[in-house]
């Protein structure tokens, strides 16, 4: 193992600058707890001088029972022409009452002259004075050298002069920032090496943005060059194209580079949970294709891949997904081989022969050619595997159904469905009105099945999606329907397709009911048995 690298999370500030994110105070406190449970070293809570929410955060976060993480308050160097103790921003950093303060200063002459509109010498004084003042207040001081790489390219000597000012000011760590996200990994490594050569007794960190899709690569290059502090955000959230993604950097450091970066008893296996929890708190759909933590990160669809993995699970996975709290998934589609079906059957606890799997696979390939998609509707795969068994007995057989939609004067629109089914030789004929034809059909089917299958009361339809597949055919287009259902323990998806949206919905609806009353019920019973036995 190599020397430890400190992880500095800035989700609560940089991450909140992503378009579409607006964390509440309660959100920020919850994310703080999640980061502490993972074992990161620093959590940047916000800019206390910028808004009342961040002031409230620093007031309340001190009451959290954090096990590992230090809270950092963020602000800028003093303003030009005044002393640190007269600067409201500096006073706000002290009033935040955090053990760590992070101060950002200008490195690029472009920003010194055009943004700050001051002199090169005054900017150096602003950096040194601010850091020295905060150090005198007993703070651990982290200095963010904003635009360092771009600034050094414009004026190498002045760029390093700003670092010298930070060293003179007593910075505990100097963080080199690729603020515009345009640097290349070899450039980052070169500048980190140079900084170490000029200031061998100083600790350096790295802060990168993802505008060139290189934030993670640049962070790792900096660590290889000697950086001992890495900044980033959960899921790479941040302004423009985002910040360096800690959900990739942390496992890259620990697993790939043998560099420890979490607290001694940190929990790398909590990483996937953290990623998805923060996405939910941010009210964003989790990115299913994120490395390590995405739902598709260890999902396998190609038949050759799955066949190989059935012989050796490492054949198409670069790590064990459980290391980061994720899991292997096998998808079923027209690209699948029989191994996909056998693996899916094993995953669901179904006993299926090879011949049955081949039969179902051929059926799926034909249906996908007709417009079905099964990789997002695995419950429909499960019921087809169940139906392929020699001893299969259907829950019911459809005799016929009728759906009427009309607009009556004085009553408005009306949707009514009638369903006639055979349940173990008993003919059941029911009718129901609903909020649209599919809802009416669902209610009529439930009315017919509930006396025989009371567990159906626990199954709710929670989402209904329709996609037109060949819009050039106008109202005669092929339509795909996806239905999501939930029984209080498990959520599943089913699919139907056809030129008639009602018939497509019926197919998805029947699959959903059968899965919920058979496969899902069996899985839940097995889980309850395991819990009781434990």
By mean pLDDT, which of 125-129, 212-216, 304-308, 414-418 is the weakest? 304-308
- 502 located within any domain: no
Task: Based on the fold, state whether residues 262 and 318 are members of the same structural domain.
Answer: no
Of 71 and 375, the one with more pLDDT: 71
> Mean pLDDT throughout 333-344?
51
- 291 located within any domain: no
- CATH code at position 19: 3.20.20.70
CA gap 36, 487 in Å, rounded: 33
- 276 located within any domain: no
Task: Based on the fold, state whether residues 37 and 82 are members of the same structural domain.
Answer: yes
> Mean pLDDT throughout 136-141?
97
- 481 located within any domain: no
Which pLDDT value is given to residue 525?
A: 45
Q: Which CA distances in Å does 111 have to 108, 146, 165, 192?
A: 5, 10, 17, 21
> Mean pLDDT throughout 237-256?
97
Task: Based on the fold, state whether residues 130 and 175 are members of the same structural domain.
Answer: yes
Each residue's pLDDT tens digit, 39-79: 999 999 999 978 889 999 999 999 999 999 999 999 999 99
Task: Based on the fold, state whether residues 336 and 431 are members of the same structural domain.
Answer: no
Among 245, 266, 287, the domain boundary falls at 266
Task: Based on the fold, state whether residues 248 and 304 are members of the same structural domain.
Answer: no
- 468 located within any domain: no
- 526 located within any domain: no
Which pLDDT band holds residue 534 (cuts at 50, 70, 90)? very low
DSSP character for 262?
Answer: S
Which pLDDT value is given to residue 523?
A: 45
Q: What percent of the chain has pLDDT over 70?
A: 84
By mean pLDDT, which of 17-21, 127-131, 213-217, 482-486 is the weakest? 482-486
Task: Based on the fold, state whether residues 362 and 406 are members of the same structural domain.
Answer: no
Which pLDDT value is given to residue 528?
A: 44
Task: Based on the fold, state whether residues 224 and 360 are members of the same structural domain.
Answer: no
Which pLDDT band holds residue 177 (cuts at 50, 70, 90)? very high
- 373 located within any domain: no
Task: Based on the fold, state whether residues 129 and 240 are members of the same structural domain.
Answer: yes
Q: Which residues pair with 423 in a beta bridge?
A: 426
Task: Based on the fold, state whether residues 178 and 320 are members of the same structural domain.
Answer: no
Task: Based on the fold, state whether residues 334 and 211 are members of the same structural domain.
Answer: no
CA-based nearest residue to 326, from 267, 272, 279:
272
CA gap 249, 232 in Å, rounded: 8
Each residue's pLDDT tens digit, 413-464: 888 999 999 998 999 999 999 888 999 999 999 999 999 999 999 998 888 8
Dihedral angle over CA of 62, 68, 71, 72, nearest 10: 160
DSSP 493-513: EEEEEESSHHHHHHHHHHHHH
- CATH code at position 425: 3.30.160
User: Considering the entire predicted model, what is its pTM?
Assistant: 0.72
Task: Based on the fold, state whether residues 245 and 328 are members of the same structural domain.
Answer: no
Q: How many domains does the chain fold into?
A: 3
Task: Based on the fold, state whether residues 346 and 401 are members of the same structural domain.
Answer: no
> What range does the domain containing 425 cover?
396-452
Each residue's pLDDT tens digit, 376-397: 677 888 888 777 777 788 888 8
- 342 located within any domain: yes
């Amino acid at each position: 193992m190599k020397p430890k690298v400190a992880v500095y999370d800035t989700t609560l500030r940089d991450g909140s600058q992503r378009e579409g994110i607006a964390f509440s105070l309660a959100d920020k406190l919850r994310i703080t707890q999640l980061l502490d449970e993972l074992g990161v070293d620093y959590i940047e809570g916000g800019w206390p001088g910028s808004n009342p929410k961040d002031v409230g955060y620093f007031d309340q976060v001190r009451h959290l029972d954090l096990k590992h993480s230090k809270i950092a308050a963020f602000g800028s160097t003093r303003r030009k022409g005044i002393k640190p103790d007269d600067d409201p921003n500096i006073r706000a950093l002290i009033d935040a009452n955090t053990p760590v303060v992070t101060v950002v200063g200008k490195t690029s002459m472009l920003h010194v002259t055009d943004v700050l509109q001051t002199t090169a010498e005054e900017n150096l004084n602003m950096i040194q004075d601010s850091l020295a003042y905060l150090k005198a207040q007993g703070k651990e001081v982290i200095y963010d050298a904003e635009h360092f790489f771009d600034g050094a390219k414009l004026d190498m000597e002045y760029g390093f002069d700003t670092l010298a000012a930070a060293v003179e000011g007593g910075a505990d760590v100097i963080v080199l920032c690729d603020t515009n996200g345009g640097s290349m990994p070899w450039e980052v490594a070169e500048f980190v090496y140079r900084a170490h050569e000029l200031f061998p007794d100083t600790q350096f960190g790295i802060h990168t943005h993802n505008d060139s899709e290189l934030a993670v690569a640049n962070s790792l290059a900096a660590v290889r060059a000697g950086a001992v502090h890495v900044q980033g955000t959960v899921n790479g959230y941040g302004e423009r194209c985002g910040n360096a993604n800690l959900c990739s950097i942390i496992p890259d450091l620990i697993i790939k580079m043998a560099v420890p970066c979490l607290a001694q008893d940190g929990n790398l296996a909590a990483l996937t949970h953290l990623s998805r929890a923060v996405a939910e708190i941010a009210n964003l759909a989790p990115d299913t294709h994120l490395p390590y933590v995405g739902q598709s990160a260890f999902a396998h669809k190609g038949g050759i891949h799955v066949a190989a993995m059935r012989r050796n699970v490492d054949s198409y996975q670069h790590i064990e997904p459980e290391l980061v709290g994720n899991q292997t998934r096998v998808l079923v589609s027209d690209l699948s081989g029989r191994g996909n079906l056998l693996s899916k059957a094993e995953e669901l606890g179904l006993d299926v022969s090879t011949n049955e799997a081949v039969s179902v696979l051929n059926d799926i390939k034909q249906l996908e050619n007709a417009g079905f998609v099964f990789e997002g509707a695995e419950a429909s795969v499960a019921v087809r595997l169940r139906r392929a068994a020699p001893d299969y007995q259907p829950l019911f057989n459809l005799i016929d159904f009728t759906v009427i939609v009309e607009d009556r004067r004085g009553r408005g629109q009306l949707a009514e469905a009638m369903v006639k089914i055979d349940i173990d030789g008993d003919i059941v004929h029911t009718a129901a009105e609903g909020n649209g034809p599919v809802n009416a059909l669902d209610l009529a089917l439930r009315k017919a099945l509930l006396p025989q299958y009371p567990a159906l009361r626990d199954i709710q339809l929670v989402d209904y999606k329709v996609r037109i597949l060949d819009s050039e055919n106008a109202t005669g287009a092929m339509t795909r329907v996806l239905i999501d259902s939930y029984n209080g323990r498990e959520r599943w998806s089913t699919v139907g397709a056809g030129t008639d949206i009602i018939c497509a919905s019926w197919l998805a609806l029947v699959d959903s009911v059968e899965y919920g009353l058979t496969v899902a019920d069996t899985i839940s019973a097995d889980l309850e048995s395991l819990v009781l036995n434990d």
